[in-house]
Amino acid sequence: VHWRMENVPVQNLAWCAASLVSVLHGMLEDNVIGENVRNVWLATDYPYVSLAEASGAGFMLDKNGDGDGDENDGRRERSPARQGAQKSSTFKVFTPEHDDAIAVLREAFQPGGDLDAWKLSDLSEQLRRYPYVEGRISIDEELLDDSGVRGILDKLVVVQSQVFVGGSKDCSKVSSFSKQVVEARR
């Protein structure tokens, strides 16, 4: 799945996330398209530590419910779920709606969710597995903080995937990434 959230009207994000879950459910349940698919790779410009580590909408509530540790100013701090490597050099403004949309997708893969038969994975999660292969491969941590390098690695995975889903025009920024993936898969 390639989902560019940048420039998507925030009022569309919840609907877009629910629609993505519905589309994935239909495709993965299909006996031909979804046959032998067990993992769903998410390539997105939303910055997170790892889908496996993040939970809920990403904002921790405090006394006034705004997540910033202050009791009454109404501001929200950056979500812990978003404190990862920057995935886009141009996507700078994140809102609670972005966090909530990712939470909808993430929750669909949890026990009892519409997609609980599949595992949601991403580059950040796979890179966390690096210590298990330490000594066998060498990864430059500074290099992995580069959004361009992360984009290349995501593209290598999705080009080789069994099925590719890109965002619709109402739910995703028009992207050369998706166009290049579609061309490479032909």
CA-to-CA distance for 120 and 149, rounded, in angstroms?
Answer: 21
By three-state DSSP, how is residue 176 classified? helix
Q: Which of 89, 90, 110, 124 is nearest to 21 (CA)?
A: 110
Residue ranges for the chain with pLDDT beneath 70: 48-90, 92, 127-141
The string of pLDDT tens digits covering residues 85-131 is 566 666 767 889 988 999 999 999 999 999 999 999 887 777 666 55
Residue with tokens 């495709």: 27
By three-state DSSP, how is residue 100 classified? helix
Residue 178, pLDDT score: 80
Q: What is the pTM of this model?
A: 0.73
C-beta atoms surrounding 12 within 10 Å:
17
